[in-house]
Chain A
């Protein structure tokens, strides 16, 4: 086993004004592993990913990628680190001014300075990997259905063969069958490129399918971390309530009239 974890968070804090979102997060993801962070809406899952990506800056704590501290890193080093990452955004976040194949090839053309011709070939190949025909490459993202957009977004995330891929709610807004298709694609793509994966979701079916380990985020803290197969026997009342989707339990939804 490798000694340095691929991603290591220690004691990460992030607050927006008086609202504390992350309250001391410790998490490490080793090479080739797939970790899924579960938790309710608004518990700071997306904020955690954005802190690792450097889109948000945590107040304190350390985030290491391949043993390298990324908090407070300069723009140039940041761009170098970003080459290791691929990300599937919740809403797809496809560039609507570009064609589908240009979206998929974006990281190759802009990030790696590849010529448009060969980049297009790779894009078509990646589209095929996620089950889309080459002809869909010439469409614009707005001409695709939600499920197809997610698949294009997945193709874009894996196009540069990143070492680390983040999945932000990969199945949200999809029907159960398409959700399962996406989950299978995620598992397959990560295997093929040997990538380390960190996902956030509140869809338990998705979590069970793609995770090696599951961590649960509640009120800014990771309250449970363990192998995916142990999730049903966690012995943690918060986790039990969440995975069974019960209204009653220790987690009370803060509803204000």
Chain B
């Protein structure tokens, strides 16, 4: 009986959390599209997410492109397909690696800081104070962040695409001895708009998920410093897992058939 009770309790907790998250998401989205808006706050979040994430995303992208060129060259040489390196790099980066890795890096950076900031505001009653000052915390805290995340991630990933392909080019031309113009031609040869578009779609969804998880976990954090710490961890872990799950779902939607 104890076993059944435990299973039941875990299941009920799961349902309660799912319900609360669904309600939170619906509320957040409805406030993103309805006025009043806070342009100053949206701008601040956009700069924080888009501009200040550039170094970390850029570094991730350049090394990913470089290692990809190196790996596929040594691997493909076993069946004499070294010529495909440029194509492999550009397809992998635009379709998969730039959105997923940029998403994970931003989840660590932005998801954590949002959860910590909003969580601290929760435990120090600043969120209650917002309400007493006739300001809806969803509008003031959550909506600008989610909007900024959803809009800015595609820009970040587009830059990561370019830097990642450039990383592959550097290794391909200066280390593996490809001809520069051949490498560039090969890069363009099989690239289709859908490859980039699917990656940017992923980026937008990831941006939404990262900021949603950051805000949600912060908003419901409880119990002082420890609670805020737990909220931060949960924000990053749940965002990372959701990114990987949705990455599969979106890939299946674009290229499943």
List residues of A whose CB falls within 8 A of some B CB.
Answer: 50, 53-55, 75, 79, 82-83, 85-87, 89-91, 93-97, 106-107, 110-111, 156, 160, 166
Contacts and interface: CB of A to CB of B under 8 A. Distances in A.
Contact of A50 (B117, B124, B128, B140): B128
B113 to A, nearest CB: 12
A74 to B, nearest CB: 12
- 3 pairs of A and B residues whose beta carbons are closest in the complex: A111-B134, A93-B125, A93-B129
Nearest to A157: B132
Nearest to B132: A87
Contacts of B117: 97
Instruction: Describe B's contact surface by its main secondary structure.
Output: helix
A87 B134 contact: no
Given A89-B129, A93-B129, A95-B129, A79 B124 contact: no
A87 B127 CA distance: 13
B168 to A, nearest CB: 41
Contacts of A75: 136
Contacts of B121: 95
B71 interface: no
B125 A110 contact: no
A111 B135 CA distance: 6
Given A91-B124, A91-B125, A93-B126, A110 B135 contact: yes
Give the interface centre of A53, A86, A95, A160 by most chain B CB atoms within 10 Å.
A95
A82 B132 contact: yes
B133 A107 contact: yes
B179 interface: no
B125 A90 contact: yes
B134 A86 contact: no
B134 A79 contact: yes
Interface residues of B, number: 14
B131 interface: yes
Contact of A93 (B128, B136, B140): B128
Contacts of A55: 128, 131
Nearest to B140: A110
Given A54-B131, A95-B129, A166-B132, 6 more contacts: A53-B132, A79-B136, A82-B132, A87-B132, A89-B129, A111-B134
A107 B131 CA distance: 10
Contacts of A87: 129, 132
A96 B125 CA distance: 12
Contacts of A97: 117
A180 B136 CA distance: 34
A54 B128 CA distance: 10
20 contacts: A53-B131, A54-B131, A75-B136, A79-B134, A82-B131, A82-B134, A83-B134, A85-B132, A87-B132, A89-B125, A90-B125, A93-B128, A93-B129, A94-B129, A95-B129, A96-B126, A107-B133, A110-B133, A110-B140, A156-B133
Interface in B108-129: 117, 121, 124-126, 128-129
Contacts of B131: 53-55, 82
A106 B132 CA distance: 11
Give the interface centre of B132, B134, B140 by most chain A CB atoms within 10 Å.
B132
Contacts of B135: 106, 110-111
B31 to A, nearest CB: 10
B189 to A, nearest CB: 50
B102 to A, nearest CB: 26
Contact of B134 (A50, A94, A96, A110): A110
A155 to B, nearest CB: 13
Contacts of B126: 93-96
B23 to A, nearest CB: 13
Contacts of B140: 110
Contacts of A85: 132
B133 A93 contact: no
Nearest to A111: B134
B85 to A, nearest CB: 48
A110 to B, nearest CB: 5
B219 to A, nearest CB: 13
A75 B132 CA distance: 13
A90 B125 CA distance: 9
Nearest to B27: A75
A87 B135 CA distance: 13
Contacts of A166: 132
A93 B140 CA distance: 16
A94 B120 CA distance: 12
Nearest to B38: A110
A199 B93 CA distance: 60
B128 A89 contact: yes
B242 to A, nearest CB: 27
